[in-house]
Amino acid sequence: MNKQTCMILVLLIYGSLIGSVIDEAKALRTWLDTPFSATALEAERNQKLKQIQNPVKGEFETNAMFEQRKKDAEANKAAIQREYAQKIADAQALHEAYLAKLRQRFNQLLDSSREVLTRQGRLGKYNAENQRFPVSIPEHSFQITVPISKGPEVKDNFSSYELKVTRQLNQNLEWDYLEAVLVGPGGSFASTDKAPALDQASPVLALIPPDLSATVSFREPSGNQRLDAEETAQITITIMNRGKGSGNMVEASFELLDAPGVSFARNLYFGEIKAGQSLSKTLQLVAGMDTSDGQATLNIKFTEQNGFPPDDKVLLFDTLALQAPELYIADIGIDDFSGNNKIEPGEPVEVTVRVHNLGQGRARAVVAELNLGEGVFFTGDATSSFALGDMDPGEYQDVNFSILTNKTTSRLDLRLDLKESRGRFSKADLPLNLAFNQVERTADQLVISGKDTKLATRKVPALNIDIEQDIPQRGKTRSKRWGVIFGIETYRNVPPVRFAKRDAETMRDYFTNVLGIPAANLYIKTNEEASLGEFKTIFDPKGWLSKNARDKDSEIFIYFSGHGVPSPDGKQAYLLPFDGNPNYAQNTAYELEQIYQNLGAIQAKSITMFLDSCFSGANRDNEIILADARPVFLSSAPEPSAPHLAVFSASSGSQISSAWSDMQHGLFSYFLMKGLKGEADANQDKSITQQELHSYVSDHVNSQARRLGREQEPQLQSANPARGIVQW
């Protein structure tokens, strides 16, 4: 509401307190002569438009990104123009409505100023033809009708007569003399001028208030219910009017706390919301690269012309700092003309370079540019630049090109630039490390290079590991399925568990694709992330699982790949976290029986555990991890007591849970995933039960373990082995 409108309201209220009708009428007259002005709104609009004028291309902005930003700017300008056109129209309509109220009050004041005064008049010469006496006062002259028979008497006794004059203020706040009556001994005689009748009082319309309420929703593109850096969230505000009157000039204003790097509009204008109508508007929260981890507070305050706004709202949401990509060369393979897997001078060679995003964030508009050294040439229609596009975390792309060296070249100096649209995530001058007469991998043997990272990012699948390829999508996502995955390959205090991290990262795809667990319902930790504190966060009473998966229809799936350890007396079994010490398992590890008890207390429909670990005190390579370098065998494996808890174990208590180097996975995990992929469906009914999965895994693990010179017999502990796990 502008200043002018506020002053009018003040006058409307204050008018009833003014002692003099004339003073009040004069004040109202001043405001009635004030024209509508949109200057303040126009200045506000122009300031907003100025902020988005003439965008300049950024250093780390592609042409396509810049063109899109310019289009967005034009769209924003058009939206601002529309918003302020509506604001100005509404303000002008409000101004006119208030002027109408002022005019009504002004006219009422004029009517109320009418009064009758007794004045001393001067009598003029009688006009016998019209039978009238002229009677005048300084301000006006009246024609008083007096019959001829009464004329002499009125003239002779005029001093005994009173002249009663009626007057009223006009639009210019000057007195109009409307009529007069001469009253005396001979009677009452009226003027020819007659005061017009007073206007009927205009009915005062009672204000019919609106009943406004607001709802707020939060939506962001990644689906993690957080505002990530470089993301744009949509805050949709819907205002419903359940009252009988209209809400006018409704507006929402915003205050955002604890969200550095997030830009947004300061208000949204709704305008009029009629009775029974609802209106939605969307606020965009644009997170920049410098957005940090935290919880933001969005305060939403509403205003309405007559003071009937919706209740204010507060929205809390998490923000997430920029998850950086990490581009690197994962592997290189060749296909040479001679077929000896060596690059020889003068020989045509096809080269495949596998580029991997090992980071947590998406790499944008990646371009690989190849730099050939002296004496090296492209063959065919090859190009030195390869557009790889956007690369999600864990995604890889292959760069394929053919080269030919001349016979005098003594060294191969091939280098690759990996360019990312934001510059700082680019990698320059990466050597391919190819050499003459050196045996290289073939293209179909490409694998990940094994580069370690602190981030839980999926490994690039090797081209010859079948369980990592073509993982089927089994039906729709099930909102009441929950998953927990721990994969600990490197430990702080003990030797590693080969391929455990890869097991966990591949199992994540099976949990989401095959078991239908939503990404938001999945908790995955690997290596140093999988601390004892994380185990407690998940498995303790009132932990993550008990809080989130306690619905009676919930189905919980848990996978663990890492060290299991026995107590020194062999009576208890523990899962060893990253920071655990097997020699002090009671204090630094999580007891398996306690996990069973805590899970059994959760009122879920079913809970299924997959344990790729052994409790012999040795790792997958049969290295003893206990201080006295001797194996300790469990006297008996703990059994789950809850009927809805089933446990798949990789081996019996005295056996080693093996790794399978050829497949780069734990032996149990490999056949577990292969079974889930569909191989375990023995009767081909498109359903896999616990018993079917166990039979498949047990048969194949037993057989392959013997080929590796070991004994390994997977176990199933279940009160209902006929329970289904996968259906499609």
Lowest average pLDDT, out of 184-188, 358-362, 505-509, 610-614, goes to 358-362
What number of other Cβ atoms are within 10 A of residue 696's Cβ?
A: 21
CA 506/CA 51 separation, integer angstroms: 48
Query: What's the pLDDT at 536?
Result: 95
2 or 111, greater pLDDT: 111
Query: What's the pLDDT at 4?
Result: 43
CA 322/CA 162 separation, integer angstroms: 95
Tell me the pLDDT band of 682, cut-offs 50, 70 and 90: very high
Among 198, 208, 401, 387, CA closest to 306: 208
Mean pLDDT of 349-355: 90
Tell me the pLDDT band of 168, cut-offs 50, 70 and 90: very high
Tell me the pLDDT band of 343, cut-offs 50, 70 and 90: confident
DSSP character string of 327-356: EEEEEEEEEESSSSS-B-TT--EEEEEEEE
DSSP character string of 356-393: EE-SSS-EEEEEEEEE--TTEEE-TT--SEEEEEEE-T
Mean pLDDT of 201-211: 73
Tell me the pLDDT band of 243, cut-offs 50, 70 and 90: very high
Residue 629 has pLDDT above 70, yes or no: no
- In the predicted model, what is the mean pLDDT of the chain? 86
Q: What is the pTM of this model?
A: 0.43
Residue 380 has pLDDT above 50, yes or no: yes
Mind listing the pLDDT tens digit for each residue in 582-606? 888 899 999 999 999 999 999 999 9
Residue 566 has pLDDT above 90, yes or no: no
Query: What's the pLDDT at 319?
Result: 92
Most confidently modeled range among 170-174, 339-343, 392-396, 483-487: 483-487
Tell me the pLDDT band of 622, cut-offs 50, 70 and 90: low
Lowest average pLDDT, out of 142-156, 257-271, 442-456, 533-547, goes to 442-456
Tell me the pLDDT band of 204, cut-offs 50, 70 and 90: low
Residue 125 has pLDDT above 80, yes or no: yes
* Sheet strands (E) in 381-476: 385-391, 396-405, 415-419, 427-431
CA 652/CA 573 separation, integer angstroms: 12
Amino acid at 541: P
Tell me the pLDDT band of 444, cut-offs 50, 70 and 90: low
Query: What's the pLDDT at 334?
Result: 86
186 or 661, greater pLDDT: 186
CA 250/CA 717 separation, integer angstroms: 63
Torsion of CA 658, 663, 665, 666, to 10 degrees: -20
Residue 475 has pLDDT above 80, yes or no: no
CA 262/CA 285 separation, integer angstroms: 6
Among 322, 320, 387, 396, CA closest to 358: 396
Residue 240 has pLDDT above 70, yes or no: yes
Tell me the pLDDT band of 7, cut-offs 50, 70 and 90: very low
